[in-house]
Structure 1
């Protein structure tokens, strides 16, 4: 099954212009085109795009995502570079989680203090 850019935009809650921008940045080199030049997404391209969006959502810069995509298109010989890049991103996300957990504790403590004040 294939999908148009409009269908994918709705499915992924993105704008068509965002998808075009990502494609123009070289993040979707796997996309096929119709005879008219329209982008066509298949199941495999959607899976790869989901991972690209995951990297974007976790704060990876587009230039780094593009490098990852380029390495992916080259093949298995770039696995060491891609593994190292993913390990670096994993460490960044773990740090973000630790910071979020610390902030959550602060917020929960504030809620408790405010609720105690209301009871007194």
Structure 2
């Protein structure tokens, strides 16, 4: 699959895909005889994983570390697991913060609906 197809499928710009590859977020993509990137199913799985993790708020730095560890093999299993556990803790914290904001918004909307507006 060529970069334009991957870009469209995952709704990521071609520039972003090239950037992710350049910084090591996506392992180097094989190129065909014309030098054009030809994404394999495994490459696409990495794109999907990175997009999911970025959508959840994981930093580029954490993901680069994870991919680097992954490429070093089984000896890094525990380190990868610990990295993901730490990221999960941070995600849960953000989810709780967003739930607090959601409750506040719901409260404000209810006030508007009942005409008992309170600015706090």
So what's the TM-score if we normalise by structure 1?
0.89
Structure 2 Cα separation of the partners of residues 115 and 61 of structure 1: 39
Partner of 1:92: 90
Structure 2: 5+ residue stretches without partners = none
Moved more, 54-63 or 5-14: 54-63
Quick one: which of 26, 32, 35 aligns to 1:34? 32
Quick one: which of 5, 8, 28 aligns to 2:6? 8
The CA RMSD over aligned residues, in Å, is 1.4
**1:27 Cα deviation (Å)?**
1.4
Structure 2 Cα separation of the partners of residues 21 and 45 of structure 1: 14
Partner of 1:23: 21
Moved more, 51-60 or 79-88: 51-60
Partner of 2:58: 60
SS at match of 1:39: coil
String of CA shifts for 1:72-108, please: whole Å, max 9, x gaps: 1111110111000000110111111111111111111
Structure 1: 5+ residue stretches without partners = none
Partner of 1:78: 76
